[in-house]
Chain A
């Protein structure tokens, strides 16, 4: 057993070393890191763009405390971020307004001053807040004038809140729903691209070993399964390295841009994405490797990958358009239990926060079982086909000739 692991380790290590040295690796890692960092920075940028800056309102130092506190309460009620600035005198305040240090001035508790008409239009919300606040301040006086006691006035202004009831007692859904949705679609795309990319990469590696005939030399000292498994593990390690580079870049981008308000689920999603990426790569890489063993020339590779690509594409679109539309539906449940679709459908579903623990566990178990079956099946095909050069080897032929093969 030890010997097997040693050999597989050597094969994997060669795979990693040779791939990491290529320009393709450097380029694709850079692309992954840029996309990840760009994605994070972009999210922050978009949030900034949609979240308006604070409304700056100037008041005089002499303004009563009731005015400023009412202004702040009103702004909060309207969902406006208010930046209150105090000035010593009208003159200084007007200079500040002229200088664009403030958007508007509220003078004597009854006059709202803007710089120009354009500025007034773009600060309608501020005007609304100021108006409402002043109206509220004046109300008790007006009520008293109408003959009500201050208590009566207050109870009119602050009525007891209405009793509330819930038809659905369920806990509220996580607040980051939209961001989670984005993360969910993002993880499907990442998984699909990664599996297709690394799958093809391992296929090309297998075909290369056949065309250069080095496989014959290798199998003079290795068993086919050792070679196959070592190769897949090597590619997997390279894949996870690139995934790691993406995560590091994303974290760095958060640190640099200060976009701390990524959805809370992002960290957990990243971990699960890593887990499912690993499982998905395992499952599909072995299939790609076995497919590669069937052909002897790069040109023929397209023919043998078509079935795998069809399954992968099917899983991808079904995830995007069926499972994510109705994460609680039967289709989504089935897809989460089928090994070929589970690695694609589970990360987004988990990003959305829906599946119960038993479903996650069942999906993991089914996928691992599926991987075991795929390893066994593709190992046999690989052993039966990898030493046969010339025309494309038929599946059944490879399967049969593996009987008694090393």
Chain B
């Protein structure tokens, strides 16, 4: 298990980490979320000792990560980095060996991954000759070719097309199934929702929300109703969501034409809500649900 314990880091006058704590368990995928500048990259770098922390500690299985345990980790930094003029296969083999694999084993693993991602015919190409998407595939292979116990991916899917996201997402998912603790940061909340077991949402260097996806959802004090009503549905109250005025604590998130999304307190009776909507007009669709990850995100960072 990976534990980040009360990490603090200040760059000049800017506080990057302000007592951030979180854990990531083996065999699970942790989606690491937060607005730009909230400290995601800094905390991920601190796992590998790439940031000199002002305070706090990073532990892997109860002990600080040292030269020996570092071999069992994989890291894909936000700023991608490969040797531009080195051949793809050589590069993967090199990083596999740096992480402790034997030469033959590393070569076999490199070939297996290249084959799997359809890059076998590019094994001898220089990295700089690959397309952006393929470079990113190689970068991901480099981070996990040695079957690490801990895999840290900083925005691994940014800039990929949907097919790429799907293949690489499945690859990473499999690493967790194999037993690795996987952390990845992303701004693609729906993707995180699809892939992750756990989430951690941070803001201004602190953890705002953390736990399994189901847990954090049910813990929320809100429910969300997304309703589509025929006609202007205004019933004299003004706006598509005019019916909201009858419910205490309800808030309109957005409305377009006859459709609206409304946040209500968790203890509101959906039946009552439905009745209110009916008064406004013919109901075309009605959804009442716990918060989506994007809702949780907005709740946490507002």
Question: Judging by beta carbons under 8 Å apart, are A222 and B98 in contact?
Answer: yes
A-B pairs, 10 with minimum CB distance:
A213-B81, A220-B75, A214-B81, A406-B49, A404-B52, A213-B79, A216-B77, A220-B48, A217-B81, A221-B98
A17: chain B residues within 8 A (beta carbon): 90
Nearest Cβ in chain A — how far from B182, in angstroms?
15
The count of chain B contact residues (Cβ–Cβ below 8 Å) is 32
Contact of A213 among B45, B71, B80, B85 (CB under 8 A): B80
Question: Judging by beta carbons under 8 Å apart, are A219 and B67 in contact?
Answer: no
A403: chain B residues within 8 A (beta carbon): 52
Given A221-B73, A389-B79, 11 further pairs, Cβ under 8 A: A10-B98, A11-B98, A213-B77, A213-B81, A214-B81, A214-B82, A214-B83, A215-B81, A216-B79, A221-B99, A387-B50
Q: Complex formed: what's the CA distance from A97 to B134 in Å?
A: 83
Q: Complex formed: what's the CA distance from A249 to B73 in Å?
A: 47
A123 interface residue (CB < 8 Å to B): no
Residues on B lying within 8 angstroms of A by beta carbon are 45, 48-50, 52-53, 67-68, 70-71, 73-77, 79-86, 90, 94-95, 97-99, 139, 142-143
Question: Judging by beta carbons under 8 Å apart, are A4 and B67 in contact?
Answer: yes
Question: Judging by beta carbons under 8 Å apart, are A18 and B142 in contact?
Answer: no
B49, B81, B83: which has the most chain A beta carbons within 10 Å?
A: B81
The count of chain A contact residues (Cβ–Cβ below 8 Å) is 29
12 contacts between A and B (CB under 8 A): A4-B67, A7-B98, A14-B94, A213-B81, A217-B76, A217-B139, A219-B49, A221-B71, A404-B52, A404-B53, A405-B52, A406-B50
> Given the known A-B contacts A220-B50, A221-B71, A223-B67, are A212 and B95 also in contact in the complex, defined by CB atoms under 8 Å?
no
A401 interface residue (CB < 8 Å to B): yes
Question: Judging by beta carbons under 8 Å apart, are B50 and A10 in contact?
Answer: no
> Given the known A-B contacts A3-B67, A18-B86, A212-B82, are A217 and B50 also in contact in the complex, defined by CB atoms under 8 Å?
no
B52: chain A residues within 8 A (beta carbon): 401, 403-405
Q: Complex formed: what's the CA distance from A10 to B83 in Å?
A: 15
Nearest Cβ in chain A — how far from B159, in angstroms?
15
B81: chain A residues within 8 A (beta carbon): 212-218
B48: chain A residues within 8 A (beta carbon): 219-220
Nearest opposing residue in chain B for A220, CB measure: B75
B53: chain A residues within 8 A (beta carbon): 404
Question: Judging by beta carbons under 8 Å apart, are B68 and A3 in contact?
Answer: yes
B76: chain A residues within 8 A (beta carbon): 217
Q: Complex formed: what's the CA distance from A4 to B67 in Å?
A: 8
Nearest opposing residue in chain B for A403, CB measure: B52
Nearest opposing residue in chain A for B80, CB measure: A213
B50: chain A residues within 8 A (beta carbon): 216, 219-220, 387, 406
